[in-house]
């Protein structure tokens, strides 16, 4: 079993959302979670503090953690605006550069799934920023349509990882599709829009999924953790991610990047 870990960057600052509904929804969700007892007053207060500091990312902290644990993670960064994703292209370029200089891989957090011209424009924008010839994509909110894979292949993407299904990687033209298997939000919120799981429940559910994936003998398992949750404002989420990494290391899995997995798969095809 080889595990691919990735991170989606949905927010960089709080104030970038001054003209949408993200902030009211965030504080309503936080209040509900506090009343339900799924987060502590400490976490609730910390969320207000980070809002006032205008910092809604934890990229330095997450990169430091992943580097310490030798995890070759991939960070997906948006280069267009979409639902709940509003940071500037300048901020995106700054963090893409930081991610690459830290030795990690970066890809596109795609916005458009059903219009080839706009989809290809995101690819070109990311390529112009990075100078990279090959890179992958994950669609924001995992949004796809029946034409998306063909469009991504035509645009020149190396891989996609937007389909949430318990299956092995497969090829669509020259594009490798890596299904997503475990995502933080699905674990912590369990069919709701707010956290309703304790750390123990999250661990148990994750073990069940990993055991199931192991039983069907998947060679590559994919895990998504959003950087915004690597914070004391979301202590259960952060503790869950730290536990996942430790649990996988104890079970002696191999961590691999999407790009290296593509190279392995292409080598096996030859």
Q: What is the pLDDT of residue 131?
A: 97
Q: How confident is the model at residue 269 (pLDDT cuts 50, 70, 90)?
A: confident
Distance CA 170, CA 174 (A): 10
Q: Work out the average pLDDT over 200-218.
A: 97
Q: Is the pLDDT score of 214 beyond 90?
A: yes
Distance CA 177, CA 171 (A): 6
166-201 pLDDT, tens digit each? 999 999 999 999 999 999 999 999 999 999 999 999
Distance CA 113, CA 131 (A): 23
Residue 183 token pair: 């995502």
Beta-carbon count within 10 A of 12 CB: 24
Q: Work out the average pLDDT over 41-54.
A: 94
Whole-Å CA distances, 256 to 51, 80, 130, 220, 260? 34, 28, 22, 9, 7
Q: What is the pLDDT of residue 270?
A: 59
217-251 pLDDT, tens digit each? 999 999 999 999 999 999 999 999 999 999 999 99
Number of domains within the chain: 1
95-146 pLDDT, tens digit each? 999 999 999 999 999 999 999 999 999 999 999 999 999 999 999 999 999 9
Residue 27 token pair: 């504080």
pTM of the model: 0.97
Domain range enclosing 178: 2-269
Q: What is the pLDDT of residue 268?
A: 84
192 within 8 A of 38, measured Cβ to Cβ: no
Distance CA 6, CA 8 (A): 7
Q: What is the pLDDT of residue 55?
A: 95
74-99 pLDDT, tens digit each? 999 999 999 999 999 999 999 999 99
Look up the CATH number of the domain holding residue 68.
3.20.20.370
Q: Work out the average pLDDT over 146-167.
A: 98
**Rg of the chain on CA atoms, in Å:** 18
4-20 pLDDT, tens digit each? 999 999 999 999 999 99
């Amino acid at each position: 079993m080889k595990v691919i870990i990735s991170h989606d960057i949905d927010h960089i600052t709080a104030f970038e959302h001054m003209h949408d509904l993200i902030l009211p929804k965030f504080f309503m969700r936080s209040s509900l979670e506090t009343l339900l007892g799924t987060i502590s007053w400490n976490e609730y207060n910390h969320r207000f503090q980070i809002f006032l500091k205008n910092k809604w990312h934890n990229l330095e902290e997450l990169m430091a953690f992943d580097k310490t644990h030798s995890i070759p993670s991939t960070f997906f960064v948006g280069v267009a605006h979409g639902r709940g994703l509003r940071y500037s292209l300048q901020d995106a370029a700054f963090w893409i550069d930081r991610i690459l200089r830290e030795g990690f891989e970066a890809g596109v957090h795609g916005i458009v799934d059903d219009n080839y011209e706009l989809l290809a424009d995101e690819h070109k924008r990311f390529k112009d920023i990075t100078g990279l010839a090959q890179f992958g994509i994950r669609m924001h909110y995992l949004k796809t349509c029946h034409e998306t894979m063909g469009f991504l292949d035509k645009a020149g993407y190396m891989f996609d990882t937007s389909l949430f299904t318990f299956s092995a990687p497969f090829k669509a033209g020259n594009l490798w599709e890596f299904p997503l298997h475990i995502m933080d939000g699905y674990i912590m919120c369990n069919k709701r829009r707010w956290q309703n799981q304790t750390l123990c429940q999250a661990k148990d559910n994750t073990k069940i999924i990993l055991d199931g994936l192991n039983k069907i003998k998947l060679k590559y398992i994919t895990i998504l953790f959003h950087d915004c949750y690597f914070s004391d404002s979301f202590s259960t989420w952060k503790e869950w991610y730290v536990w996942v990494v430790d649990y996988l290391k104890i079970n002696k899995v191999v961590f691999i990047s999407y790009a290296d997995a593509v190279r392995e798969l292409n080598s096996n095809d030859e």
